[in-house]
Amino acid sequence: MPRSAAAGTKPREAPLSGISRATAPKRRALTSAELARMLELRAHYPDLGNADVERAATDAVTDGVGALVVRPEHVPLASRVVHGSGVRVVTGVDFLQRREPLQPPVVLAKQARLLAEAGANSLALIATQQRLADGTRFTDAIRAVSAAARSHGARSRVLIDVAGLTPHDVVETAVLCVHAGASVIQAGAWEGARATFNLLRPLRAAVGPDVVIKWTPEVRSVDALLLGVAEGANRFNGDIKALLQQARARGAWIPLTVPVAGVDY
């Protein structure tokens, strides 16, 4: 008879799947409130008026999202509604000319200062294949916008439209923009073929842990959002009400656990 059995002790159980408790990966669990702060409510559509933006801003505060994205003309209104809530107001510099070549850095810096003074907390520039082809002009622009934003307690972000760009191009652009002062990198495609989460892991590895990464395409489920977090993103677009309803329903009976690459998928 084995000694452990004779002593009345329980024999050791073999670890499942060859993973012991000592080597099992630690999984991050989110609360529904933490998940809400990863979401950004978009109220930048051209058909939205003041009343629509005010309702969206009120919803952003009620739902506890991380940010409200608005057109430049709606920044003062949005800022007033969300004041003191922790919801950031995001808008675009050079917004109306976003499909055109960039304006000079001095013009963009002036726009950034005016928007920050009006209440914007995060000022974005859109990086397209056309704009990035113009040598160092885009990095000069983000450097100017970043400096203007910091002088007013705001931060800058770059929206990289991946259409027409290789994964290497996207990662290289992100690194250059972070070095130029951007603290938020947003990536994805607005039109055409959808980008995949495969881009996120190399992007996160390149920019480091402190830069916020936002994924542009909508996530349609909590599972997709958690997978995006696992791959390196920490800001998302989506149907806010639906995602939070899913998160609260699931969180009532099981943790909102971020999967581990190479183990869970």
Question: Quick one: pLDDT at residue 121?
Answer: 96
163: confidence class by pLDDT, cuts 50, 70, 90 = confident
At residue 178, the 3 state secondary structure works out as helix
Q: Is residue 142 within 8 Å of residue 181, measured between CB atoms? A: yes
Percent of the chain residues past pLDDT 90, beyond the cut:
74
* HEC secondary structure over 62-99: HHCCCEEEECHHHHHHHHHHHCCCCCEEEEECCHHHCC
pLDDT at 27: 86
Q: What is the C-alpha to C-alpha distance for residues 236 and 20, in angstroms, rounded to an integer?
A: 34
Contacts of 232 (CB under 8 A, 6+ apart): 200, 201, 203, 204, 205, 213
Contacts by 49-53 with C-beta closer than 8 Å and gap 24+? Answer: 50/74, 50/77, 53/77, 53/78
pLDDT at position 188 is 83
Residues 158, 142 contacting (CB under 8 angstroms): yes
Mean pLDDT taken over the chain: 89
Per residue in 178-220, pLDDT (tens digit) is 999 999 999 987 665 566 788 999 999 999 999 999 999 999 9
- CATH homologous superfamily for 28-250? Aldolase class I (3.20.20.70)
pLDDT at residue 24, as a whole number:
65
- Where are the chain's structural domains? 28-250
Give the integer Cα–Cα distance in Å for 155 and 123: 6
pLDDT at 3 over 90: no
Tell me: the pLDDT tens digits for 104-135? 999 999 999 999 999 999 999 999 888 898 77
**E runs forming strands in 96-182:** 122-127, 155-161
Tokens of 178: 């972070």
Instruction: Check pLDDT > 70 for residue 15.
Output: no
Residue 10 pLDDT > 50: no
Share of the chain above pLDDT 70, in %: 88
Higher pLDDT, 6 or 262: 262
pLDDT at 1: 46
Weakest-pLDDT range from 11-20, 55-64, 71-80, 250-259: 11-20
Instruction: Report residue 96 as tokens.
Output: 């109306």
Identify the pLDDT of residue 9. 52
